[in-house]
Amino acid sequence: MKKVFLMFTALFLLTLLINSCTSSKSPSQDKSPNHNNAVNETINENLPSIAGVCLDDAAEIVDMILGDDYEQTFSEIEGHFGEPYYIRNYNDGLSILIGQNSGKVLEIELTSTNYETWQGDKIGDTADKVLSKYREKYTEPETIHSDGKLEGWFDIGNGIILIFDFNKDDNMIVNKDITPDSKVELIKLTKMQYLD
C-alpha cells in the first residue's frame, strides 16, 4: 500500500510540473526561500505568463512558484469568470485570481517592478518600447464600443489577452492619449471572454 501511495504522489507531482508553463522568472523569484528547484526548469518559455505563472495553472503550481506569502479574499460574485473566485494579493505588487471550482488561475495583474512578463516586460517600460515590440507579433483587438483598436491590448492567441495600462489610477484598462514616453503602470493577463 505504501508503494502505491508513493507512486501516486510522484505521478501527481510530475503531472503538476508537466502542466505548468513556468518560465521567465524574475531574478527575485530565484532567491525566494519557497522556490522549488524543480520548477526552475523551463517547460515552455513561449507560453504567456507573468511572474512565471500562466492562465489555467493550478493553484498548487502558483504556490510552488510564488510561495504562500499573500493575503486572500473571496468573491462569491461570479461575474464574467463563471465561478466564485479567490483573490491572492502578494505584498509585492502581484494579484492572482483563482477559481473556487476549477482551482485554476483566471487572471493575473501586476503593478510593481518585482516581476515581468514571459517577454521580459516590466512596469515602468515606455509605450514606445512595448507597443512597437508587441505590434510586430500580435494584433490589437477592435473595440466594440467605438471605432478603432484597443491600444495596448494584444491578442496573444487562444483567447488570451495581454493588457498594458498606462494610467491605472483612472480605474479603466482602456488607454487614452498614449504618448511614446507614457509608462506602463499595470499589466494584466486575462481572457477575452472575461472582458466586456
Whether residue 62 sits in one domain with residue 10? yes
pLDDT digits (tens, 9 = 90+) for 87-125: 999 999 999 999 999 999 999 999 999 999 999 999 999
Whether the pLDDT of residue 42 is over 90: the answer is: no
* Residue 116 forms part of a structural domain: no
Q: Are residues 96 and 144 in the same domain?
A: no
190: cell is 486575462
What SS3 string covers 85-110?
A: EEEEEECCCEEEEEECCCCEEEEEEE
Residue 119 lies in a domain: no
Q: From 189, 193, 192, select the one nearest 23 (Cα to Cα).
A: 189
Q: Please, what is the average pLDDT of the chain?
A: 82
Tell me whether residue 66 is in a domain: yes
Number of domains in the chain: 2
Residue 143 belongs to what domain range? Answer: 127-194
End position of a domain, from candidates 77, 110, 143: 110
Rounded distance, CA 135 to CA 151, Å? Answer: 10
Q: What is the average pLDDT across 28-52?
A: 57
User: Is 121 part of a structural domain of the chain?
Assistant: no
Domain boundary among 110, 136, 163: 110
Are residues 24 and 87 part of one domain? yes
Integer Cα distance of 24 and 101 in angstroms: 28
Q: Is residue 106 part of a domain?
A: yes
DSSP H helix total and E strand total for the chain: 4, 7
For residue 67, what pLDDT is reported?
95
